[in-house]
A and B are shown apart, each in its own frame.
Chain A
Amino acid sequence: MSTRTQFSGGFQNAPVDAAHAFRAAMTVMARPGEIRHLTGGQPPEPLSVAAETLLLTLCDPDTKVHLAGAADTDAVRHWLTFHTGAPLSAAADADFAVGTWSELGPLSTYRIGTAEYPDRSATLIVECDDLQQAGAVLRGPGIKDTARLNLPDVAALQANAALYPLGCDFFLTCGDRVAALPRSTQISLEV
């Protein structure tokens, strides 16, 4: 295996890989609590495959990306710039942000959309140590009765949901697995 360069780690067959990745991303966003596999390229450290594949699938020169904390390395910057052309930005301007929950910082930093254009809000890709269908109880669009997902910070995410129809949307990534939490999901601790 040759040494890794900033040119490594893109899609092998971009239209087809991106189509598969988007279907997984769309499915989890439409069905909060579901977990799907996401694979595409080989990510630069410390990004997970799932987070990397989401960035390759959704980001381009039209989207500002915020790299939070440990994700903000030269390797990741070069990789993102080469493969997507996405401009890097501060958290407050970002369309997409990637990092662990603690590194992403307070949600109030991110754009939540406007009353007339709630779609103009940030999508956060949260790198998690663990992703499983247990813990907080989810209800709302896309969920038949209830679903469960271990969430990084229930109180902050409940506050985000209370802003509906404004608010951020989340992808939770762990290795090659992904789940999503749109702002429309109501979160509680008990059934």
Chain B
Amino acid sequence: MNEYNFAYLDEQTKRMIRRAILKGLAVPGYQVPFASREMPMPYGWGTGGVQVSAATLTPEDTFKVIDQGADDTTNAVSIRKFFENTAGVETTEETEKATVIQTRHRIPEAKLREDQIIVYQVPIPEPLRFLEPRETETRKMHSLEEYGLMHVKLYEDISQHGAISTAYAYPVKVSDRYVMDPSPIPKFDNLKLEMDAIQLFGAGREQRIYAVPPHTKVVSLDFEDYPFEATKANHPCDLCGAEDSYLDEVIMDDAGNRMFVCSDTDYCRSRREVGHVGRLAKEDAA
């Protein structure tokens, strides 16, 4: 690892990112602009998260990366390798053992602790972007706390579909002030946004960093008569039998057979190790 500065980025870049993180923590949910660098991976592969992780990691950390809950997909494996090579940190697939967790589109099922940090990869940090394309306008809307448009959008969901159909990147209000995009996590995960760990969000292409400190009030936007609902597929996991975890639907063949499995691979594996068995677990082992 001597070929790289610790954690790849040069020190001046890390200082710039660190200052942005501190301001982000001081104003929870507010998007701090930062001078995002080109990383040795394309935009959309977690360059924002990688830069935030690089500025946060210490040599003693144990690093975990998940992509849609899984530790073993291309994005997760390549980012884990990246920091093994450039920072020399320990890596793990176990949520329990990790001190810094970089995630794409999920929050682990296991409750995160005080001494853990979770870094989200964010594609579009601006929750109002698809309602108002101009940055000058969305910035004004945030400064005036003018979020009526977002409620109109949720209302239109109800008028067209009979329910709020937004299923991921469900907007939240942080600490009674800023409306924030929690990154494209399923709304099932929204309730976990009030947690003990520090949450950092990095959007590389869009050049924004934001943060939610521990124990911060995070409320999913809703209406009195259409309250927020954290939904998931109404099945137990077919491998570990968990009824409380977020599930992926897997098509098994061209005859319409399918299975539901935990999206959090570490959660599913740890449950199977202590003997929990789902509907299709035996077939899977064979």
- Using a CB–CB cutoff of 8 Å, the interface residues on chain A facing chain B are 14-16, 18-20, 22-23, 25-27, 29-31, 57-63, 95, 114-119, 121, 123, 140-144, 164-165, 169, 182-184
Contacts and interface: CB of A to CB of B under 8 A. Distances in A.
A141 B216 contact: yes
A62 B6 CA distance: 21
Given A63-B19, A115-B143, A164-B27, 15 more contacts: A19-B58, A25-B18, A26-B25, A26-B56, A57-B15, A57-B18, A58-B18, A59-B15, A60-B15, A60-B16, A62-B12, A117-B139, A119-B27, A119-B30, A141-B215
B26 A22 contact: no
Contact of B58 (A23, A164, A165, A183): A23
Given A20-B58, A165-B177, A30 B139 contact: no
Contacts of A141: 28, 175, 212-213, 215-217
Interface string B5-18: 11100011011101
Interface of B, helix, strand, loop or mixed by DSSP: mixed
A31 B195 CA distance: 13
A116 B217 CA distance: 22
B32 interface: yes
Given A19-B7, A19-B59, A140 B25 contact: no
Interface in B28-87: 28, 30, 32-33, 55-59
B214 interface: yes
A31 B214 contact: yes
Contacts, number: 117
B237 interface: no
Interface of B: 5-7, 11-12, 14-16, 18-28, 30, 32-33, 55-59, 139-140, 142-144, 175, 177-178, 196, 198, 211-217
A165 B15 contact: no
A119 B32 contact: yes
Given A58-B19, A116-B139, A16 B27 contact: no
A22 B32 CA distance: 18
Nearest to A118: B27
B256 to A, nearest CB: 48
A143 B213 CA distance: 9
A60 B140 CA distance: 30
A14 B144 CA distance: 41
Contacts of A184: 26-28, 175, 213
